[in-house]
Chain A
Amino acid sequence: MDIYLKDCKLSERTRGLKEAYFKAMPETCLERARLITTYSLEHGLFGKRISILDKARMYRFALANRTPVVWHTGGYAKGMVPFKFTDTSLFAGSTTSRFKGVPLYPEFLALTLWPELWTISKRSANPFFLSEEDAKELNFGIFPHWMEENITELARARCYRENAGAGDRCAPEMKLMERLVFFLASKPECISHTIPDFSKAIYNGLRAVINEAKARGEAATDASKKEFYQAISEVMEGIIAYSKNLAQKAREMAAGETDQGRKAELLEIARINEKIPEQRAETFREGLTAVWICWTAIHLENPNVGLSLGRLDQVLFDLYRKDVSSGKLTADQAVELLSCLWLKIGDHVPCIPEAGEQLFGGTGSNQAITIGGVDKEGRDAVNDLTYVMLRATELMRLRDPNLNARYYPGINSKEYLKRLCDVNVTTGATPAIHNDRAVISALMSKGETLEEARDYGVIGCVEPNSAGRTYGHTGAILLNLTSVLELTLYNGRHRHTGMDLRISPPTGELADFKTFDEFTAAFGKQLNWLIGHAVNLNNIFGKIHQDFYPTPILSALFEGPMEKGMDVIQGGATLNSSGATIIGLADVADSLSAIKKIVFDEKKKTFPELISAVDNNFKDDLPLLVELTTKAPKYGNENKDADGNVTWLLETINKAFDSKQNYRGGGYRVGYWTMTNHAGFGRLTEALPSGRKSRENFTSGITPVSGVTPELAKALHSVAKQPARYLSSGVALNLKYTPECGPDNKDEALKDAMLGRFAASVEGYFSGLDGNPDGGMEIQFNITTHDTFIKAVKNPEDYPELLVRVSGYTAYFKDLNPQMQKEIIDRTEYLLSTGSHIPYPPFDLGGDKNSPC
């Protein structure tokens, strides 16, 4: 097979659909919220613990009564101008009733939109269309019923009860989270971050799942298990009903269709949806339909944040191979099918309020797909479908799905790696590349078997979990590590919350620290304190999910729950864990290095003098700022002290989380990917001893600070030497390479040379080093010229498809807030032909009053 598939182009169908997709603005969709609210009112589900059977019946009702959209007819363009188009998708159904919808989950954060109901269509940051009629329905008919009933407020009430002895309305962990600057918990928004097991739906069909559930239910003696199996049957019937409704609608449309081509397509859709997912899939298209219909159902239950599809090139390969070998399917047709599916997968965006957009905006739904790597037996798993998926991704250049490629050095071919680099050059930002050796090692360090670890898929941004069997809520906690530094420097206080308020127990005034070790010991105590509170809150939220948000749909499509007779939220999955991600790693590491050098090693300043200058944002001590930024050791330059501080932080954080257990009996795993949070948290934080000035962005993921690592090889080695066993929830190493050959460059020799160097840089980073045989874990790129980014800031409408890697997921550059755009522009850019950085001056945000420039 030609792995580049250059002869496969966008078809007329996919070109038209893609054009409409990029034209459409997101529209708020009330359908889910309306159906759930109606059912809850009619069946008295408010104000009490909700059983899995109650939930299952509710979802069956919603699935059977939701609008069966076979083909959309239009959307809203920029300025909320309605437009029409001719839908020709090969897949029927949709996540919402809109072409590009914003589903609302009032059980979670939908009510944050309440103050914006009249303005959300016109807000400057990523507006969502909402009609006046729908706004009124939300205001009067939906939101009022959920004021006491959503996950956040149920958890707050639980906190009050658990702390009743400490005073009225006492919820210390909740308060800490709502101060924004310490940590965020994502359970108020979702659990989601996981990969379902689609294999049963594809190869057995949902009727077989129902039959299994009935048999197990009849054999069970435990009432809760009987209820569980009954719930599974309910939701599977609901999904089947939805697909059959689509089939019926397609037949009705076909009956009125005069165009014979469209009529035939509608009848084929009807045939497939009448059969799938109830029965087993027999063709590649049927297999994709099974995935798609189940995917829409999973989103009815689980908010559209980080739900991921897993190893589709493995799961669907048998059907692909069978169709190709029998002559039923060509690579061209497969690319078209996948392109249609990719657009369907991206048919929704998450509900984000305006303040959220300003702080953390620009995200899609972060639906990761994983390709390549090795199989459970350790053999090369890259196949023809892997390359078909790469080609579809290359042609479509979409934010969602977020493609992640696995690469096992020495097992996967170098041609495959080169192709991954090639697609990165073409798309500018995808796929992210994961080192199988490091990831498998990290997962095994958390107790997974070799076979389970080898079968990992990537979730959300970059988080690896054994696909379809680990319920791992990988983004449960987002912890701002610079706040631990603050609490240590200010003896339990934080500058954002004020010097009058003690947040954590005192660990010493600055003048008390006689050695660097004393200071790091205090840092460790503050770290343990903050992690303890973050974990407590996550576990409280988890218990609320257990009591009020059972998940029968996900449980039916997962390894473990059917065998145990237990919902995934109760611990039914084969493997259970929770994930924390750490923001500000490089900023804290470099601050520790600076403190050690300036205060303790060279004694150029006393500790109070250093921090006094930091407090003053270095305004009165420019020489110190120069010393900190140019002479203090920086992570990413193979400096033993600086890189050693990173290792110490990773080990200390991992150890602190290792001592904790989640509400499902699983452990905690730690990752270093930051999405846009390094920009958001940065805006809330004053200057740091590293020389980072007040309100500036933090550094993303596990990446060294921008602009301080001039040599690519040293930067890669510094990151690669960090032990994989401390990074079990994934990392994002964000690099920028100058596109020495653009996607349209015809100079094949130049392109080949760049791709060769590109692949060599990845191979080198993944190679084992002294002390770390696993090599670097993950790497992702932005390959767009500096000049293009500057132009895109000034004229965003000229660059609607400019795709970027944020820190984990992909986004459209135009959707990012100015601070995040600046962070991407300011990232260290390397010229592969020299291996050195190109020293651009920091980008000036200009009129932005919050600009740190």
Chain B
Amino acid sequence: MGLDDLWSKALKKQLLGEVTDEFLETLLKGMDIMFFLSNDYRENIEGFHGKYVFKTADDTVKVSAIFDDGDLTVLEDEISDWDARITFASPKALWSFLFSKNQDILDSLLKNEVEVDGNLNYIYKFGFLAKDIIKRLHLA
């Protein structure tokens, strides 16, 4: 079993809802590997420049993701010049916000568990990138 398979297995588990504290890290790492492995997937971020911050309200998690024309850099810190910032109550809340459908989207709104700041179109773009992995891994 290769490294990619190990990663793929971990990512699949998380994407399917077995969410752990490593969800965000696994997702971003998964995207990074997918950009490397798949030209099609990388095409999504060619020409795209977007800076994201993901954090918890208590600041125990602070991660920045910088997309720069085909490259993704992940930093374990909060950059100040973000285009979009997502503040979430828990990894599960972030998962619900990004992946789940129907009532679950509403749940995250009802519980006020996710707050977004900045340009919403960057959030929508990130949402597509995340869901595109699900499609490519045939998890939908």
Interface on A for B, CB 8 Å cutoff? 111-119, 123-125, 139-140, 143-144, 146-148, 150, 152-153, 156, 168-169, 175, 178, 180, 354-355, 358-359, 496-498, 683-684, 695, 848-850
* Known A119-B131, A144-B47, A178-B116; contact A114-B110, beta-carbon cutoff 8 A: no
Q: Out of A115, A117, A355, which one reaches B109, CB within 8 Å? A: A355
The residue in A111, A125, A175, A683 that gathers the most chain B C-beta atoms within 10 A of its C-beta is: A111
Task: Write the nearest CB–CB distance from A185 to chain B, whole angstroms.
Answer: 14
Annotate B35-61 by CB proximity to A: 1 below 8 A, 0 otherwise: 000000001100110000000000000
Task: Write the nearest CB–CB distance from A147 to chain B, whole angstroms.
Answer: 4
Q: Out of B43, B106, B140, which one reaches A118, CB within 8 Å? A: B140
> Hey, which chain A residues are within 8 Å of B20, CB to CB?
none
Task: Write the nearest CB–CB distance from A137 to chain B, whole angstroms.
Answer: 13
Chain A: CB-nearest residue to B81: A168
In the complex, whether B32 has a CB less than 8 A from a CB of chain A is: no
Complex contact A144–B131 (CB within 8 A)? no
In the complex, whether B124 has a CB less than 8 A from a CB of chain A is: yes
Q: Out of B44, B110, B130, which one reaches A139, CB within 8 Å? A: B44
Complex contact B124–A150 (CB within 8 A)? no
> Hey, which chain A residues are within 8 Å of B119, CB to CB?
147-148, 153, 156
Binding site secondary structure of chain B: helix
> Hey, which chain A residues are within 8 Å of B43, CB to CB?
140
Complex contact A496–B112 (CB within 8 A)? yes
* Known A156-B119, A497-B112, A850-B106; contact A114-B44, beta-carbon cutoff 8 A: no
> Hey, which chain A residues are within 8 Å of B127, CB to CB?
114-115
The 3 closest A-B pairs by CB, nearest first: A115-B127, A114-B124, A147-B121
Interface on B for A, CB 8 Å cutoff? 43-44, 47-48, 80, 98, 101-103, 105-107, 109-110, 112, 116-122, 124-125, 127-128, 130-132, 134-135, 140
Complex contact B121–A498 (CB within 8 A)? no
Q: Out of B48, B102, B109, B112, which one reaches A144, CB within 8 Å? A: B48
Chain A: CB-nearest residue to B80: A168
What are 13 contact pairs spanning A and B, CB under 8 A? A111-B121, A111-B124, A114-B121, A115-B127, A116-B131, A118-B131, A118-B140, A119-B101, A139-B128, A144-B125, A169-B117, A359-B106, A497-B112
> Hey, which chain B residues are within 8 Å of A156, CB to CB?
119
> Hey, which chain A residues are within 8 Å of B140, CB to CB?
118-119
Complex contact B121–A146 (CB within 8 A)? yes
Q: Out of B107, B121, B130, which one reaches A153, CB within 8 Å? A: B121
Complex contact B101–A117 (CB within 8 A)? no
Q: How far is the CA of A849 from the CA of B110 in the complex (A)?
A: 12
Task: Write the nearest CB–CB distance from A140 to chain B, whole angstroms.
Answer: 7
Task: Write the nearest CB–CB distance from A189 to chain B, whole angstroms.
Answer: 13
Q: How far is the CA of A115 from the CA of B107 in the complex (A)?
A: 18
Q: How far is the CA of A742 from the CA of B66 in the complex (A)?
A: 63
Q: How far is the CA of A113 from the CA of B131 in the complex (A)?
A: 12
Other 17 A-B pairs with CB < 8 A, given A115-B130, A118-B134, A354-B105: A114-B124, A115-B128, A117-B128, A117-B131, A118-B132, A123-B101, A125-B102, A140-B44, A143-B124, A147-B122, A153-B121, A168-B80, A358-B105, A498-B112, A684-B110, A849-B103, A850-B107
